[in-house]
Structure 1
Amino acid sequence: MLDHFSKAETTETTMEVFKAIAQNQPVLTDAQLDQYFSAEDAAYLRSQLKQGENGYEFADWVNSLYNQ
């Protein structure tokens, strides 16, 4: 999963994908993770994304993919 994002996309395009999945919200819900990602990728994202009150915050993680 990380190879795809880091080689085929940019910060902006990856952020747009996550925003679209999250319906323009700053967090992904468990239901969205389960719907749009494989079980393995959803589990990985849950382990990497900061969990907030309403879901998993993805902006910092997406930015970190391209700032290494």
Structure 2
Amino acid sequence: MSMSKATTSHNKAQTALIEQDMASVFQHSIDKQVHIRLVQALKTRIEQVETAKVSLEKHLGNLKALLKCS
């Protein structure tokens, strides 16, 4: 969703530039950057969560193996 908002902000910035509305160009450029950074942060967080999930699954497997040996 943020990536589509970044695209929308980019398009609005282009329109404002054509109309020479510099305040709008600035605002939409900022909006675009905010959404792009949000998407990047979310992607990073997803990678961290996936790494943690793999680690937890590995430890769970080890615990199950220990319980079977008991």
Question: TM-score, structure 1 length as denominator?
Answer: 0.27
Relative contact order, CA 8 A, sep 6+: which one is greater?
A: 1
Question: TM-score, structure 2 length as denominator?
Answer: 0.26
Q: Higher helix proportion, which one?
A: 2
Q: Between Structure 1 and Structure 2, whose CA radius of gyration is higher?
A: 2
Q: Higher strand proportion, which one?
A: 1
